[in-house]
């Protein structure tokens, strides 16, 4: 795949990104594997195949796989109200911003369902969203931090979020938010394990994903790739990472992984939930995850540049119209990405997976991913 090699080399050579690691598999063979650029520019430390990346929202698909195992066990239905598992979600209210800037809390017509969490139609915001509900959430969480000098544990945190107002009536529209983190808390309620324990036992260990977790041991921290502010002269980000179990295990964005580990996960999805004789999910469950679940009304607000041509399934984008996305790919390709520029896809039609891990702040996916996809698909 010379085209892919050239495209990724150019990203680094032109100073657009610090570096990346990529693995493309087709027909169960590695068709392309490459590491480009630097994990730490200042020390000239190159990215390698064992570089650990904070994968941000690519964590979501792993959390979805975990909770769908519990769905297969008959422990919940998609239309169940979330309040069956997290009482804080009972009797929700909606934050309505009025013309004079005041915010009115109005009782919602219905409760948030599990399905609405999966499809990002719940109205549960991220604190950083530009909505009245998000601003209230940010304020309440900061108040908790100041009062207790910490953040709540996973179930307590998500139950607290359930008591905060929603951005809109559940089911009315699509809005990227805290929903999958709430599903992570439901995993804890249903399984009796912490989210990290559950994912390790039921996904990471069976698939041999030895470097995927919510923390990176102190002796392995030097393997973590530095994040770079790509619009600010490649200024390195100063954040630190947990070397032991964090108080809040973010199923929506807290995992670390490597290109090899995540490729194993993607291959399992491609093969209907099974890899190397190990079953993680059933084939029909994978079909349900990767089917577009949005109504025409919800699709109107599913309008990011990176989502052109895509619908949305259970925590994943689903390609419906490649021509609308200006992508030479396949109908039915699906996957997700992460805030730091990471991205992966599963293409059943081509029997292909691609995992692309990088270190961008901001992610700027629409600058890079269509070019990677164009080169990848042109090479088939």
pLDDT of residue 292: 98
Residue pair 344/337 in contact (Cβ under 8 Å)? The answer is: yes
* Paired tokens of 349: 């039609």
Q: How confident is the model at residue 117 (pLDDT cuts 50, 70, 90)?
A: very high
Q: Give percent of the chain above pLDDT 70.
A: 100
Q: How confident is the model at residue 233 (pLDDT cuts 50, 70, 90)?
A: very high
Q: How confident is the model at residue 327 (pLDDT cuts 50, 70, 90)?
A: very high
Residue 329 Rama label (left phi>0; alpha psi -120 to 50; beta): beta
Which candidate, 108, 222, 102, places its Cα nearest to that of 165? 108
Least confident range of 132-141, 143-152, 199-208, 324-333: 143-152
- Please state the rounded mean pLDDT for residues 258-279: 98
* pLDDT tens-digit readout, 271-318: 999 999 999 999 999 999 999 999 999 999 999 999 999 999 999 999
How buried is residue 101: exposed, middle or buried, by Cβ count under 10 Å (0-12/13-18/19+)?
exposed
Biggest CA-to-CA distance, the chain: 61
Q: Does the pLDDT of residue 115 top 90, yes or no?
A: yes
pLDDT of residue 11: 98
For 58, 216, 266, 335, the CA distances from 61, given in Å and listed in that order, are 6, 20, 10, 8
- Please state the rounded mean pLDDT for residues 334-356: 98
Q: Does the pLDDT of residue 100 top 90, yes or no?
A: no
pLDDT of residue 99: 80
pLDDT of residue 153: 95
Which candidate, 242, 275, 238, 270, places its Cα nearest to that of 256? 242
How far, in Å, CA of 289 to CA of 271, rounded? Answer: 13
**Coil/strand/helix, residue 210:** coil
pLDDT of residue 5: 98
> Per-residue DSSP letters for 53-87?
EE-GGGHHHHHHHHHHHHHHTTS--TTSBGGGT-G
Q: How confident is the model at residue 97 (pLDDT cuts 50, 70, 90)?
A: confident
Q: Which domains does the chain have, with CATH numbers?
A: 2-61+209-378 (3.40.710.10), 76-191 (no CATH)
* pLDDT tens-digit readout, 137-173: 999 999 998 998 888 999 999 999 999 999 999 999 9
* Paired tokens of 163: 């008591």
* pLDDT tens-digit readout, 77-91: 999 999 999 999 999
- Please state the rounded mean pLDDT for residues 354-366: 97
Q: Is the whole model's pTM more than 0.75, yes or no?
A: yes
């Amino acid at each position: 795949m010379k085209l892919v090699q050239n495209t990724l080399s150019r990203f680094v050579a032109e100073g657009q990104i610090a570096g990346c690691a990529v693995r493309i598999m087709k027909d169960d063979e590695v068709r392309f594997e490459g590491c480009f650029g630097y994990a730490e520019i200042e020390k000239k430390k190159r990215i390698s195949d064992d570089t650990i990346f904070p994968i941000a929202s690519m964590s979501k698909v792993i959390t979805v796989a975990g909770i769908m195992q519990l769905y297969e066990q008959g422990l919940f239905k998609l239309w169940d109200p979330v309040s069956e598992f997290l009482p804080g979600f009972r009797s929700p209210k909606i934050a309505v911003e009025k013309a004079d800037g005041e915010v009115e809390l109005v009782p919602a017509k219905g409760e948030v369902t599990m399905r609405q969490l999966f499809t990002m139609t719940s109205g549960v915001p991220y604190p950083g969203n530009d909505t009245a509900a998000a601003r209230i959430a940010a304020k309440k969480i900061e108040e908790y931090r100041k009062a207790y000098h910490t953040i709540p544990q996973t179930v307590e945190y998500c139950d607290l979020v359930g008591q905060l107002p929603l951005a809109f009536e559940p089911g009315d529209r699509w809005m990227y938010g805290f929903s999958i983190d709430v599903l992570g808390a439901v995993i804890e309620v249903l399984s009796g394990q912490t989210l990290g324990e559950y994912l390790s036992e039921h996904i990471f260990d069976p698939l041999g994903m030895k470097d995927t977790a919510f923390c990176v041991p102190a002796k392995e921290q030097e393997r973590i790739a530095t994040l770079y502010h790509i619009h600010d002269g490649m200024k390195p980000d100063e954040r630190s990472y947990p070397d032991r179990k964090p108080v809040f295990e973010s199923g929506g964005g807290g995992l670390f992984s490597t290109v090899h580990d995540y490729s194993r996960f993607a291959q399992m999805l491609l093969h209907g939930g099974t890899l190397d004789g190990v079953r993680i999910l059933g084939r029909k469950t994978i079909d349900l995850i990767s089917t577009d679940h949005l109504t025409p009304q919800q699709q109107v607000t599913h309008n990011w540049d990176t989502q052109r041509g895509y619908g949305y399934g259970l925590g994943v984008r689903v390609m419906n119209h490649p021509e609308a996305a200006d992508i030479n790919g396949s109908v039915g390709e699906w996957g997700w990405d992460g805030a730091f520029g990471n991205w992966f896809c599963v293409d059943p039609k081509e029997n292909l997976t691609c995992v692309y891990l990088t270190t961008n702040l901001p992610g700027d996916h629409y600058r890079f991913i269509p070019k990677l996809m164009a080169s990848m698909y042109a090479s088939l």
